[in-house]
Every structure is written in C-alpha cells, then in structure tokens.
Amino acid sequence: MTKIHKEDSHKLKPFLIDSHCHLDMDVFDNDRREVIKRAQDAGVKHIINIGSDRKGNIKSLKISHDYPEIYTSVGIHPHDATTLNEELYAEIKEWLKQPKVVAIGEIGLDYHYMHSPRETQIDAFKKQIAIAKNSGLPIIVHSREAKNDTLQLLEKEATKISGVLHCFSGDMDMAKKAMELGFYISIAGPVTFSNAKNLREVAKFIPDEYLLIETDAPYLSPVPMRGKRNEPSFVKYTAQAIADLRGAGISDIARITTFNAMKLFKIGQIPDKGEIAYKIRDSLYLNITNRCTNRCGFCIRFETDYVKGHNLRLEKEPSAEEAIKSIGNPNLYKEIVFCGLGEPLLRLDVVKEVSAWVKQKSGKVRINTNGHGNLIHGRNILPELQGIVDSLSISLDAEDEKKYEDICKPVYKNAFHAVIDFIKEAKKYIPEVKVTVVKLPEIDIEKCRAIAEELGVELRVREFNVVG
C-alpha cells in the first residue's frame, strides 16, 4: 500500500496515475519494462492496466503480479461481446479473487464499429455489471456512439456501484447525467487535439471530484507525441492540457486525479489527516478552523472533507505557531490565503499573528470570509487588520436578507445587512476588497452585481461546485 506522508504535504510533488492503458498488448512485448520505467521517471506512481478480452485479461493479471505499481481490471470489451459464454463468465468471477484486480472492465457499448451485434453487446454489458454489483468493484465503461443506451443501462442496472466513463467522447449532457449517477469522467489524449472543442469544454466543466485522466495507451497519443505509440509517461501532457483549461497547475490536476483514482479503485492510502496548509496553483491556503457562522446548503464541508485532493477536516484547530510552521517560506507563494472548511475570522487572534508574520517576511495575505467578523467579535475588527492584510474576499451569496437567510442560514440575525456594512467598512482599511457570489438558480446574479457596483467593489461569480 502506498502511504502519503502528511508532514509538509503541500511541499511534496504530487504524482500521477494513468487510470486506463493496455500494456498487455503485443506492441509493448519488446520494451514493456522500459515503458514502465519511463512512466515512473515521469512521476506516474500507479498504472491501471485494463483487460478487454480473455487473452488480455490473463496477460494483464500476470503484468500486475510482476510489477508492484500496476493494478488491473478484468472484463470483456463490447467488440468481443460474442465471446462472453458461460465458461468465460465463470473465469471472470474467478479472476476477481486475485488481489490486484480493482475493477470490471473494459465493458460497455460500441455502436461505431459494431464488431458484435447490438443486443449481444447489451447482454454482455448487463452480465458484467451484475458481476460488479456482486463483487463491489467499480466498472470501467466504454461508450462510443451509444449515449442513450449507455446511460439507460447505467441508470437501470448499475445502481449502488461506482465507475468511470473512460476516454470520454460524449457531450456535456452525457457527462452531467453520468456524474449524477455517481460516475467519474476520464479524459485522455484527444483533449489536446485541435479539433476537440467540445471535449475541452467538458474537461473544463467537470467538477474536481469527478475527474480522472488516462492514456488509453497504445492509442490516442496526446500532442506533442501524436503519431507515436502512446504510453503511460505521456499522461503528463494530458494533465498539463487540462490544467491549462481549468486555470490550475499541473500539480493540482495530478493531486486531484490521483486522489480520485485512489478512491475509486481503492489503491494506496488517501490522506486521512486534515491539513493546515494546502497549495492550489501558486498560492498557499491556510485551514485554521472548520467552524462557521453560516450553514450554507451548497457548502462543500457538508459533502466532503476534501478540496482538490487535500483533506481539510481538522482534528484540532492549529495555533498561530503551528500555522506559521506549516507555511515555511511565504515568499514561495503568490499569496497566503486564509481559507478552509470554516470562517477564519472566528480565530481573529491567530489570523492577526500569522498575517503580521507573513508581512514581516514580505509576503501577501488574503482572507476569504463570510463577512461576519464584526458580528462575531461585537466590534469593528477591520482597523486591526490594516497593514497586515492585503486583500479581502467577502461572500455575498444573495441579493437581499430573506434570500440570504434561506441560502446561508446564518446563526446571527440581520447577518445580510452586517455583511453589507462589513464590505463598506473594509474599503477604508484593506487595499483590495472583492465580493463573491455562488452561481445558483435562486440567486439573482445581476442584482448582486448591482449591489457590488453600488458598494464600489468587484464581483466574482463562481460555480457552486468549484472550490479553490
């Protein structure tokens, strides 16, 4: 089992997982060991090798046995659905007993080539989903030009199991419906192709918690390796392309997709201890409390402990000294941001001490807050932040008090008006003040924009499922 060290985790280089490739294929027979070594050198920690026919399954099982970093799935590809007789069906169930089998796949539907009749594909898909349900393993789904049947079968047959739509080539609607069913979306090399506009939109849209990456090697080499045999080391190019699309760093994409793959396939050990400091792009975030004075229905803290692969569920609130130690050198980052699973201004003394230290070291400080600071402390705290805080990002999240109470469920009365007053006051003491609003159907964004303009501050609208 791969263990992730918790100490200074934000300073460690995230590794990658190729969640789907075919190293069992004959094209790798002459240099398989070298291919795996190149993957390791490129930062690929684990590889999920995918079975697709009887010969490939047997070979993949052996490869996973020979190489510690490789896991395998077993299954029959829709191209070979006609081969799934009772004997092979029984073999698949026996293969599941081997310890490095982590999924059923590659299974699904392919209406492009139609190497097997449609009804035969559907029958094989159903039978292998049944194996997954009995075993508790996820499924790896191939779907090509079979959107409606794929989604209908997943909805009807694949209840209570997870899985991934590999090498996704569908539209946005298909991605949304698959995620509603609890399925991950895996992006491969075609996202780098010049004609892949729709896929790039999907790759940009997928929430962090549903994103995987893969090579599908030896097929579909990404730019700049297009035309060459694909291999797991090339997954870094896909990761970089997705990072560029999402305005993230490749380390963020590596950490997010690695976490998701480890969670889906139950490999390695996901971070189980809350982090104080966590890096996103070129900023370092500080998670100093999980307490909050709002109970927003959209808040991620009610759904998960994790943000972009970081565990933020604190066992205890850190002291100022512990927070400072977790930062290291603040000049390594664009800014130090107080933002975690709670409201940082609940811990004003810690914020002030750490911020003053960062400024002494010539660093920049930003606080992401719900704007309840003055309510919490019963006084105007903003003069105490002057000179040690460069920027405030204040959550507005509603256009009036009634809407604010419905959405944010504050513990304080008259909280909305207090937030407005906090924004007005902040402009007197803090060089940069912005307000944010979550893009929800019930929120009137234009009215929020008008409020921001009247207050003389910039408004930033964020998707409700995008954090960090």
- Percent of the chain having pLDDT more than 70? 96
pLDDT of residue 297: 87
User: Does one domain contain both 244 and 329?
Assistant: no
pLDDT of residue 373: 98
Q: 283-286 and 306-307: which strand pairing?
A: unpaired
User: Does one domain contain both 107 and 226?
Assistant: yes
pLDDT of residue 73: 98
Query: Does residue 2 fall inside a structural domain?
Result: no
Query: Does residue 107 fall inside a structural domain?
Result: yes
The pLDDT of 189-212, averaged and rounded, is 96
The pLDDT of 95-117, averaged and rounded, is 97
The pLDDT of 306-331, averaged and rounded, is 96
Rounded to the nearest 10°, the torsion over CA 277, 281, 283, 285 is: -30
User: Does one domain contain both 124 and 54?
Assistant: yes
CA 363, distance to chain mean position in Å, is 28
Quote the domain boundaries for residue 411: 277-463
Contacts of 425 (CB under 8 A, 6+ apart): 374, 380, 382
Query: Does residue 333 fall inside a structural domain?
Result: yes
CATH, residue 216 = 3.20.20.140
Tens-digit pLDDT profile for residues 413-450: 999 999 999 999 999 999 999 999 999 999 999 999 99
CA 208, distance to chain mean position in Å, is 3
Check if the beta carbon of residue 21 is closer than 8 Å to that of residue 47: yes
Query: Does residue 150 fall inside a structural domain?
Result: yes
User: Does one domain contain both 364 and 236?
Assistant: no
pLDDT of residue 7: 36
- How far is 13 from 16, CA to CA, in rounded Å? 10
User: Does one domain contain both 250 and 298?
Assistant: no
The total of other beta-carbon atoms located within 10 Å of residue 315's CB is 8
The pLDDT of 342-346, averaged and rounded, is 98
Would you place residue 219 in the very low, low, confident or very high pLDDT band (cuts 50, 70, 90)?
very high
User: Does one domain contain both 319 and 210?
Assistant: no
Query: Does residue 255 fall inside a structural domain?
Result: yes
Angle at 128 between CA 124 and CA 130, to 5 degrees: 120
301: pLDDT strictly greater than 90: no
Would you place residue 156 in the very low, low, confident or very high pLDDT band (cuts 50, 70, 90)?
very high
User: Does one domain contain both 250 and 350?
Assistant: no
pLDDT of residue 4: 34
What does the mean pLDDT of the chain come to? 94
Tens-digit pLDDT profile for residues 38-59: 999 999 999 999 999 999 999 9
pLDDT of residue 462: 85
pLDDT of residue 269: 84
- Any idea which residue has 């992006």 for tokens? 187
> Structural domain tally of the chain?
2
- Percent of the chain having pLDDT more than 90? 92
Per-position DSSP letters for 252-296, written without gaps between them = HHHHHHHHHHHHHHT-S----S--SEEEETTEEEE------S---
User: Does one domain contain both 398 and 288?
Assistant: yes
Final residue in a domain of this structure, among 216, 232, 265: 265
Would you place residue 467 in the very low, low, confident or very high pLDDT band (cuts 50, 70, 90)?
low
- Any idea which residue has 């201890």 for tokens? 273
User: Does one domain contain both 139 and 30?
Assistant: yes
Final residue in a domain of this structure, among 233, 265, 297: 265
Angle at 223 between CA 109 and CA 45, to 5 degrees: 75
- How far is 464 from 466, CA to CA, in rounded Å? 6
Final residue in a domain of this structure, among 265, 298, 317: 265
The pLDDT of 62-77, averaged and rounded, is 98
Would you place residue 9 in the very low, low, confident or very high pLDDT band (cuts 50, 70, 90)?
very low
SS3 of residue 34 by DSSP:
helix
pLDDT of residue 464: 58
Would you place residue 11 in the very low, low, confident or very high pLDDT band (cuts 50, 70, 90)?
very low
Would you place residue 3 in the very low, low, confident or very high pLDDT band (cuts 50, 70, 90)?
very low
Burial status of residue 208 (CB atoms within 10 A of its CB: 0-12, 13-18, 19 or more): buried
pLDDT of residue 465: 54
pLDDT of residue 10: 46
User: Does one domain contain both 244 and 327?
Assistant: no
User: Does one domain contain both 333 and 384?
Assistant: yes
Query: Does residue 134 fall inside a structural domain?
Result: yes
- How far is 42 from 186, CA to CA, in rounded Å? 20
Query: Does residue 84 fall inside a structural domain?
Result: yes
Three-state SS sequence of the chain? CCCCCCCCHHHCCCCEEEEEECCCCHHHCCCHHHHHHHHHHCCEEEEEECCCCHHHHHHHHHHHHHCCCEEEEECCCHHHHHHCCHHHHHHHHHHCCCCCEEEEEEEEEECCCCCCCHHHHHHHHHHHHHHHHHHCCCEEEEEECCHHHHHHHHHHHCCCCCEEECCCCCCHHHHHHHHHCCEEEEECHHHHCCCCHHHHHHHHHCCHHHEEECCCCCCCCCCCCCCCCCCHHHHHHHHHHHHHHHCCCHHHHHHHHHHHHHHHHCCCCCCCCCCCEEEECCEEEECCCCCCCCCCCCCHHHCCCEECCEECCCCCCCCHHHHHHHHCCHHHCCCEEECCCCCHHHHHHHHHHHHHHHHHCCCCEEEEECCCHHHHHCCCCHHHHCCCCCEEEEECCCCCHHHHHHHHCCCCCCHHHHHHHHHHHHHHHCCEEEEEEEECCCCCHHHHHHHHHHHCCEEEEEECCCCC
Would you place residue 468 in the very low, low, confident or very high pLDDT band (cuts 50, 70, 90)?
low
User: Does one domain contain both 114 and 226?
Assistant: yes
Query: Does residue 68 fall inside a structural domain?
Result: yes
Would you place residue 8 in the very low, low, confident or very high pLDDT band (cuts 50, 70, 90)?
very low
pTM over 0.85: yes
CATH, residue 305 = 3.20.20.70
